Each structure stands twice: as C-alpha cells, then as structure tokens.
C-alpha cells in the first residue's frame, strides 16, 4: 500500500508540473523571469579583434548564463554615440552599459587614468592583483560613484608596443615637436618631453597617420595593429610600451540599471567581467607573436628598441606626472598612494619570482 501511495503521489506531482515540468521556475516559486534588455556602447570599432570582440563575448556569456534574462545588444564606436562619449552616455542612462578604457575620461576625472594604466607602472598581472585583492576596485567605484556608474575590470592587452613612427627615434631630441596619438598620463609625459600628444579614437588613427596629421601613434600591439594595417602608414615599430605596461579595460554599468537587477544577475556580471578580463589577456598572449612575425617577415616592418637615454628621460618625467596626478584632491591622493604602494610591494616579490625566472629562462 505504501508503494502504491508513493506512485500515485509522484504521478500527481508530474501532472501538476506540466509537460516535462517546465512550468515550475528553476529557482522555485516566485523566481524572477523578467527579461532585461540592455544596450552596451563601446569605444572600439565593431568586432575589432581583441578589443572589439571582448564586449560581444561578454554579452554572449551573460545571455547564456542568465538563460536569456539579461539580453544585451552591443554597439561599436559611432553606431549610437561617439567613441569618446561612452562615459557620459552611460552616466546619463542613454545606455545601461559601456566598454572602454578609463584614461579616455582623464579630462573629466584626472585620477581615472590610474585604473587604465600608468607609465612605467604595473603590468596586467599586477593590476589584477591590485584591483581585486589590493583595494583598487573599491577606490575605482568610489571615484565613479558621483557619475552614477559602477565599473568593472573587463580586459587587458598586456604590455603594449611603444608605437609606430615615421622617423627614427635615436635620442630625446627626436621627440621634440613629435605629434603622436597617445592618451592618458603617457600623453602628458610626451608633452613634457617636447612632443605634442593627440587623443584620437581607434577608428581615426590610420587616416591621421597616413595623411600626416600625426607623426606617430601608439595603439595596442601586433595583433590589433596588424588588423588596423598601421604597417602601411608608418615604417618603424618601437618597443617597449613604457606608456601602457598593463592597460585595464573597463565595463561600466549605469547605477540605476545595476540596482534594478536581482542579485543573481548582478553576480553573473561580476563573474562574466572577470572571465572576459582574463580571456582578452589570454587572446593577446596567444596572437601577438604570430602577428609580429607577419609584420616583420611579410611586410618588412623595422622593429626597433627605444634607446636607453630616451627611456630614462621618459621614466623621470613619468615619476613627476604620476605624483602630480595624486595631488588633485583627497580621493586622488588615496588612489595614488594605494597604487604606488602596491606596485612597490609586488615589484619586490616579482624581482625574485617572475623577473628572475624570465632572466633565467
């Protein structure tokens, strides 16, 4: 009789659940099934390898993780707003989400550059350590809070190249009057070294270099630079990327849009941005060398190292620029101190671990 009763009860439960049990919410009665349809605007050309595909991949992961409840449409630079208008547009709620780099907003928030990259500063591995375990992310969110934004680390290209030049750089004198596309604190360093920094979104770089509007440009590295055909507009390709040793890219979410999400979707954004942050670095690590071989062996690009005296001069100026960036206000001072103290500490360990190993290898 007990067996018969259990069978009957099981049949009743199945019939109440509908065919295949699909009428019962996965998380139990009352589960949130609302679909949130968002726009994500970016500073990158649509589907540009690495930088442009990262926000597309982020949207795909969130759509899959949420079973369609978070449905994000991605817009490339210029499709909805201009590349350098992303910060304001997300802040004002024109779009719920954006993807870019914090140093583009330096004119609005000078301290924002610390959360993208600092000349002669931390590399990608060190930046991730500072942001996620050294208090960096909390400071970043405090900095963006007045602008109605919640930032996340969402990509890193690793150490970049110093850039493309139409003339050789043999001494500091060769920087005098040099018109170069270079954003962030690196641009200020170049200006104090005698050059003229120009801020341009990625989509405008090739034409500006080809037509002589600028004499040089930094962009990313071989993988992205080959995609932009920059080798057809400049002859010399210099390293190392002193100006961008570990550039963090950001995903920013409008605060009202963030607060409107249930806790599980917020958690998915936290996890997915971390995944994209790692994925981009892995992609650039895997693709850069093959692209460099193509540039040098197939296109005859002249790969050059910046002279030591040039690097020493830029490093000395960088120290001044970074120190001044921390003097804007009390919060900028805390960000500066947190960043530089973390770099000092992690550098000591990396000297006997990462750096020592690479030297031995």
Q: Are 85 and 219 members of one domain? A: no
Instruction: Answer whether residue 14 is part of any domain.
Output: no
Domain boundary (259, 285, 311) is at 285
Q: Which domain holds residue 325?
A: 163-244+300-360
Q: Cβ distance 251 to 144 under 8 Å?
A: no
- We report the CATH number of the domain holding residue 352 as 3.40.190.10
Is the bond into 240 cis (omega within 30 degrees of 0)? yes
pLDDT tens digit sequence for 106-120: 999 999 999 999 999
Instruction: Answer whether residue 26 is part of any domain.
Output: no
Instruction: Answer whether residue 138 is part of any domain.
Output: yes
Domain boundary (285, 315, 346) is at 285
- Could you give the 3-state DSSP secondary structure of residue 72? strand
Q: Are 128 and 271 members of one domain? A: yes
Instruction: Answer whether residue 5 is part of any domain.
Output: no
Question: What is the pLDDT at residue 309?
Answer: 97
If one counts the domains in the chain, the total is: 2
Question: What is the pLDDT at residue 27?
Answer: 43
Q: Are 75 and 224 members of one domain? A: no
Q: Are 220 and 270 members of one domain? A: no
In 3D space, the residue among 229, 274, 218 whose CA is nearest the CA of residue 249 turns out to be 274
Question: What is the pLDDT at residue 32?
Answer: 76
Question: What is the pLDDT at residue 31?
Answer: 60
Q: Give CA–CA dist 103/224, Å, rounded.
A: 19
Q: Are 125 and 192 members of one domain? A: no
Q: Are 133 and 173 members of one domain? A: no
Residue 165, sorted as left (phi over 0), alpha (psi -120 to 50) or beta, turns out to be beta
Q: Cβ distance 322 to 336 under 8 Å?
A: yes
Instruction: Answer whether residue 313 is part of any domain.
Output: yes
Instruction: Answer whether residue 120 is part of any domain.
Output: yes
Go through 39-61 and write b for each residue having 16 or more CB atoms within 10 A of its CB, e for each that does not.
bbbbbbbbebbbbbbbbbbbbeb
Q: Are 202 and 90 members of one domain? A: no
pLDDT tens digit sequence for 314-360: 999 999 999 999 999 999 999 999 999 999 999 999 999 999 999 99
Question: What is the pLDDT at residue 66?
Answer: 98
Instruction: Answer whether residue 55 is part of any domain.
Output: yes
Q: Are 46 and 175 members of one domain? A: no
- We report the CATH number of the domain holding residue 74 as 3.40.190.170
Q: Are 50 and 155 members of one domain? A: yes
Q: Are 45 and 106 members of one domain? A: yes
Q: Are 239 and 180 members of one domain? A: yes
In 3D space, the residue among 206, 250, 229 whose CA is nearest the CA of residue 99 turns out to be 250
Q: Are 127 and 172 members of one domain? A: no
Per-residue pLDDT of the chain (361 residues; tens, 9 = 90+): 444 444 344 443 334 443 333 333 344 445 679 999 999 999 999 989 999 999 999 999 999 999 999 999 999 999 999 999 999 999 999 999 999 999 999 999 999 999 999 999 999 999 999 999 999 999 999 999 999 999 999 999 999 999 999 999 999 999 999 999 999 999 999 999 999 999 999 999 999 999 999 999 999 999 999 999 999 999 999 999 999 999 999 999 999 999 999 999 999 999 999 999 999 999 999 999 999 999 999 999 999 999 999 999 999 999 999 999 999 999 999 999 999 999 999 999 999 999 999 999 9
The β-bridge partners of 237 are 164, 303
Question: What is the pLDDT at residue 273?
Answer: 98
Instruction: Answer whether residue 293 is part of any domain.
Output: no
Domain boundary (235, 262, 285) is at 285
Whole-model pTM: value is: 0.90
């Amino acid at each position: 009789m007990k067996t018969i009763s259990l069978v009957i009860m099981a049949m009743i439960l199945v019939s109440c659940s509908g065919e295949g049990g699909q009428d019962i919410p996965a998380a139990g009665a009352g589960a949130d099934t609302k679909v949130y349809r968002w726009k994500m605007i970016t500073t990158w050309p649509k589907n540009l390898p690495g930088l442009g595909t990262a926000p597309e991949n982020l949207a795909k992961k969130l759509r899959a993780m949420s079973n369609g409840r978070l449905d994000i449409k991605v817009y490339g630079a210029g499709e909805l707003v201009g590349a350098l208008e992303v910060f304001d547009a997300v802040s004002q709620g024109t779009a719920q989400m954006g993807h870019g780099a914090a140093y583009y907003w330096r004119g609005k928030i000078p301290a924002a550059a610390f959360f993208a990259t600092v000349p002669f500063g931390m590399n990608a591995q060190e930046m991730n350590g500072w942001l996620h375990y050294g208090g960096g992310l909390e400071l970043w969110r405090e900095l963006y809070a007045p602008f109605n934004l919640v930032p996340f680390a969402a990509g890193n290209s690793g150490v970049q190249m110093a850039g493309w030049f139409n003339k050789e750089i043999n001494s500091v004198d060769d920087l005098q009057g040099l018109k170069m596309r270079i954003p962030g604190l690196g641009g200020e360093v170049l200006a104090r070294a005698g050059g003229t920094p120009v801020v341009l979104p990625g989509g405008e770089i090739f034409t500006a270099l080809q037509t002589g509007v600028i004499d040089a440009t930094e962009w990313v590295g071989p993988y992205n630079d080959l995609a932009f055909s920059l080798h057809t507009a400049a002859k010399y390709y210099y390293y190392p990327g002193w100006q961008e040793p570990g550039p963090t890219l950001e995903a920013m979410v409008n605060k009202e849009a963030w607060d409107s999400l249930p806790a599980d979707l917020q958690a998915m954004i936290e996890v997915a941005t971390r995944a994209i942050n790692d994925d981009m670095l892995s992609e650039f690590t895997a693709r850069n060398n093959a692209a460099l071989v193509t540039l040098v062996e197939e296109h005859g690009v002249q790969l050059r190292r910046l002279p030591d005296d040039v690097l020493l001069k830029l490093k000395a100026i960088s120290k001044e620029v970074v120190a001044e960036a921390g003097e804007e206000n009390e919060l900028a001072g805390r960000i500066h101190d947190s960043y530089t103290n973390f770099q000092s500490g992690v550098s000591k360990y990396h000297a006997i671990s990462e750096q020592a190993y690479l030297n031995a290898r």
